Every structure is written in structure tokens, then in C-alpha cells.
A and B are shown apart, each in its own frame.
Chain A
Amino acid sequence: MSSASSTSAQPEVVVSGVGLAVPGVTFPDELLGAVREGGFDPHTGLTGREMRHKDRASRLALRAAEPALRDAGLHDGKAFTGDGDTTAVVVSSNFGILDSVCAFADVIARDTVKGLSPLGLPQTSSNVIAGSVAMRHGLRGPSITLCNGPTSGLDAVYWARGLIASGRAETAVVIGVEPSGDAVTKLLGEPVFDGAAALVLEARDRGARPRAVVGAGAYARGADPSAAVAAALGSRSPGAVGLWLPGEDACGAPGGGPAFDLTARLGRCSGALGVLQCAAAVAYFDRRANEDTAVLASAGGPADDAAAALLLTAP
């Protein structure tokens, strides 16, 4: 068990934008129970010229990334307006291309490789999603894809923060996405959340409105869920946590405070969960201007290879 600590002066990293492609949802506060009509519909929302030949995970990710960039003031509705050379893309997805891989194996068995579409080549590598987002918006900084199990979404936020802290990027687009499909459903024994969430992370000094703070040492990954939570809390008391967003098996309660289980409505979120938790945290802080509060997100349990926890604090 160890949390990432800082030894040198690092920029303060904040969340400055949120975008969602979540069925039935438009804005992040709906993740926490706000109700509106309409919302994203994957049947109609994943079409269009720019979606042609793209895998489902890339389509969902693109639908979430653009509103996140707009929310952060980095997209004017036509194009990305930030600095592409210093903007990173970090994606978390455990099952992003699983259905493509299984489908291609079926085609080979039936028709030999001659039956395959050449357009499927990018979908044989899990980083197709990050590549699609980078290409759409001209994001030429580091491009990282995590396929890291139940903690993967929180891990992605941690590494995105690290890219900014190390100076490799000034801005990072973080996306958690899990597309539905027959192979994923068979593997999990139930359908997976069919959607995506995106965040924009950046150093506070650009002047964008900060919506949440991802501090140095605010993340930990380790064998014991409670120890991961304690490490992420650091010197803060559990009472400072205004809201706990548990993972799929609800391990690592920080204290007696209120908890909100995102998966009760969304189902199995897997690699998307950590990013959805951060999106919900932003909605929580948005409703509580000037309150000094914190949101704890946790994922993974005793049956997993590790648990992770991330503490987000009010801007």
C-alpha cells in the first residue's frame, strides 16, 4: 500500500469539464438522481458521418469527449480550441474491443481471413478508442489506454493527473467507456453499462472554472480496500467526506456518511465506473458552491487483484 506523494512543486490539477454519453442522461447531476426528460439515446446518438466505420466504444467516447471539451471552454462547437501538442488522452475500458475480437475470430473460422473487413484493423488494438478521440480533436500529447480491471477508471484519472504533474501535458481528456455486446454479456453473465463518461483535467492556472480538485496523494491502490481509502483520505477525517461513491461491491466505506451507488441505476460500469464517479463528484460540488467538502470514490474489493480509492475535493 502506498499513495502517490509529491516531493516537488507541482501544479494543482483540477477537473474543468464533464461530458456524458450515458443512456437516458444529459447532465451529470442526473447521475445523482436529478430527473429530466430525454437524454442520450445510443440508438440515435451514435450515427452520423463522423461515426462511420468506428467501433462502438470509439463512438461512445467521441459522444462524451466533445461535451467535456465544450464544458471546459476548449471547444467552440466546431473545433477544439486548445493546444493539441500539450493535450493528452487517457482512456479506461476493460471490454472495449472484446466483441470485435470475438466476431473477427468467428469470421475467420467461417470464411477465412478473406471474409474480414480491412476497416476492422484498428479494432484489434484496445487503444483504438484513444486514437479516435485524438484524431477527431487533434490531440497530440501522450495517449494512454488502461485496461486494468474494476479500478481502471480511477487509475486513468490518477495517470492523467500524473501526466500534468510531470509536465508531459497541460490538459488531459479522460474517458471511461464500456460498450455493450454479446461477448461482454456472456463473459459477465449480465449486460454491461453501454456508455461513456469524459472529464477534462488541467492545471488550475489556465483560468478555466475549476469544478473539482484532484490532489497529489489523493489516490491509492492496494490489496485492502479500507487501507486504500485511508491512504486516499490522508490527514483528512472521514467526516470531511460529504459523499461516498462506492464501487460495484461497496467495499471501503470511509465512515458513516451518505453513500450513493451509481451502479444501482447504470448497472455494471467496469472500466467506465471511476470516470463516472468523478463526473458525479463534479455534479455534487456544482450544487454546493463555497462548501469545503470532499467526495470519495472507491472501486475493487477482496475478490479483485486490488482496490483503489480517489478523494476529490471541492474547488
Chain B
Amino acid sequence: MTWDITGMGAVASIGGTPQEIFAALCAGRSGLAGLRAFDTEKYRARQAYEIDDRARPGTDEPGRATRWLRQAVAQALTDAGLPHDLADVPVLVGTTLQEQRSAELWWRQGSRLAPSDLHFGTALRAAFGATRTYTFANACAASLYALAMATDLIEVGAADTVVVAGTDAIGESAFGTLDRVQNDVPDALRPFDRSHKGMLMGEGAVAVVVRRAPAEPAPGRRVHARVRAVGINCDAHHPTAPDPDGITRVVRDAHRRAGVAPGDIDLVMLHGSGTPKNDTTEAGVLARVFAAGPGGGDGSGPLMTAVKSMTGHTLGGSGLLSLVVAALALRQGTVPPVLGLTDPVEEAAGLRLVQDTAATADLGLAQIDAFGFGGINAAAIVEAVR
């Protein structure tokens, strides 16, 4: 079975729609800026990829993750030509931090917070009449996990249309604890480059409309891309560090479900979080997976890129944002570069990472990686629709 992506929406530091974001990525334009909302004296890292939308610059406000989620879902529905009424449409939201920032502002500064503000169903009911809503707090694999659950819902006949989304705003406790833990202080997120110093957070939301593929060809129905499969699993190995065995299993599971071989993949949207541990682990796994296929190891494997080099790590939504970028890349035959990549880490030496400027290529199949704390992994396979 396959599933059609018929609508897409996204907001991030580098653009307010999927097209704006894609154009910025292809132009090598980053959303990196000085940390805007926190007291920078309290942190070692003082850069992030924030959405600059606070009413009073320098003063943080609650509810931003929810606001972007509403925007992304509205964009996706409009793009799909669907009414903004989700009374009978499941909405699956993947997030790392939920409305954690709103909780911090409530606790520290006394802003208003109700228990119902902590899950996104409350806002989705108010904005779209949605009641089959689910907030999955599945770390940085959350939105691809949600996509997997959506494909399952359609496959068992529990829905024909599902909205899948992801959203996150930067919170102090998460940003601060990561800052405390990273050995170096990154001034930018530079995935797979020897100069990588770690992860920096970004902000954003993303949504797609996923529909059952029609049994007969449906003229006039616009489809951005077709989901072939999503694999999901857990390392059960370490609370925060990635595990090559778990990542290998999820990539192979996604290929098996999609009925494809590594040699069929033309593009890989890397997780690429810029931590030395992620980059060496992910590159090492992919080098092995793609070396096994025809053409592997001789420089003719899939093109690879990592959008976090310009969006920062948008956490729960990052996997689905990579998928939206993949859909546009497949359609346009253009792959954005990995910004800041000049000297790849040893493990990535045999990988065709796009450097400096966008690459053009004829692309049919893309793989999207997303890995998160708790050892959870997801990998999706999407196909171009022409």
C-alpha cells in the first residue's frame, strides 16, 4: 500500500511556507542568530535558529509552538484543497517538548497556564473542530513516528485522510541542559563537518495531509509525493546516545516495507543533528547500508543532505520537515547543500553529501531519517509523483 501527500505546510526560522523554506535552503540561507528570548548570561551557547515572531522583542511569550502548529495545519489543508474542518479527520502531532516553554513561563514568571494547554488537541479543537487528536511526545523522531501511525490508520481502514504534524519551540530547561552537556560550545550546527561542535536548537512547525491513494487514477488530484513506508523502532540501548544497530535495523525495515533495495534510493535526508556522536554513527551506518547495494562505494550512491545546517534542530517536527523538503526536491530535481560542510568526517568520506551549492539530479526515491532521545528511530521512504 502507498499513501499520497496531498497538502503541505511549514514555518521555520528561514521561511513561513514550504516553498520559502525550500528556496532558502537551496540558496544556502541560514536562520542562525543570537539567542533572542533567554538571558544569554546564563548560557554558554548563545545562538539558535529561532522564529523571530515575539510581540515584544526580547520578551518571551507562551503558546508559540501551538500557534505555529495551527499555521502549518491551516497551510496544509489549504494546499490540499480541503476545508478547515477536521471534525472526522485524525490529527497526529509529534513533538519533543510539547508546550514546555509555556510551562516554564508559568512557573518562573506567572503567565497563565491550564493543564489543557499542555496537549495540542485543545487548540486543534478550537481552530479546526478536531477531536481525533493525539499528541505524541516522541522526542526528535516524533513527527515521522506520527506519520507511521497515520499510514497504519489508513491501512486498517480507520481513516482515509489523516493530518500529520510536528511542532516545537525552544525551552530553557532543554536548551540549558543540552548546553551543559555538550563538550564544546557550537556557534552553528555543522553536520558531518570535522568542525562540528554539537547541536543547536531551531524552532518550527510542519504539517502534511496524508490520504489513501485512490484505486483508480484521479485526474486533477495534486499529489506532492507518495509515502512508500515508514519504519519505527527503539534502540533500548542508551538514554540519549544513538546506537548503530538500532539505526541499521530501522533503515533496513523501511526499505523492506517499501520493497526497495538500497541501490534504488536517490536521496537521503539525513538526521544530521551536528553532534559528533550522531554524525559519525549515522554516516557509518549509511556507508555500510549503501555500500551493500549496486553502485555502492563507487561514488554513485544516493545524494545526501542535512537541512538542520540551516534550520537548526527543529526537534519533534524535524523529520517531517525533512520529508516536506524531500517532496519538493523530488519534484524540482534540486537538492539543497549542507551549509558549512567543507571537510567531511572520516565516516562520511564515501557519502555523496551535497556541498557548497544545490545539486541538480533526476530523483525518484528519497529516504528520510529521524532519531531521538530514548533511543527511538524512524526512517521513511517517499517516491516522486510525476
Contacts and interface: CB of A to CB of B under 8 A. Distances in A.
Interface of A: 1-2, 4-8, 10, 84-85, 89, 94-95, 98, 100-102, 104-106, 108-109, 112-114, 116-118, 120-122, 124-128, 130-132, 134-135, 137-149, 152, 155, 159, 162-163, 165-166, 168, 183, 186-188, 221-223, 270, 304-306
Contact of A113 (B42, B131, B246): B42
Contacts of B180: 113-114, 116-118, 121
Nearest to B146: A144
A135 B237 contact: yes
Given A124-B100, A135-B237, A149-B119, 12 more contacts: A5-B157, A113-B176, A118-B181, A121-B180, A122-B373, A125-B373, A131-B374, A141-B234, A162-B152, A187-B113, A221-B133, A223-B129
Contacts of A165: 156
B interface, size bucket: 35 or more
B174 interface: yes
B136 interface: yes
A111 B181 CA distance: 15
A108 B136 CA distance: 27
B53 interface: no
B50 interface: no
Contacts of B108: 102, 105-106, 109
Interface-central residue, A113, A162, A304, by most chain B CB under 10 Å:
A113
Interface in B72-105: 87-88, 96-98, 100, 103-104
A147 B172 contact: no
B125 A305 contact: yes
B156 A166 contact: yes
Interface in B299-358: none
B232 interface: yes
Given A121-B181, A135-B239, A2 B234 contact: no
Given A120-B177, A221-B132, A306-B125, A113 B233 contact: no
Nearest to A149: B119
A6 B122 CA distance: 28
A122 B96 CA distance: 11
B71 to A, nearest CB: 19
A100 B373 contact: no
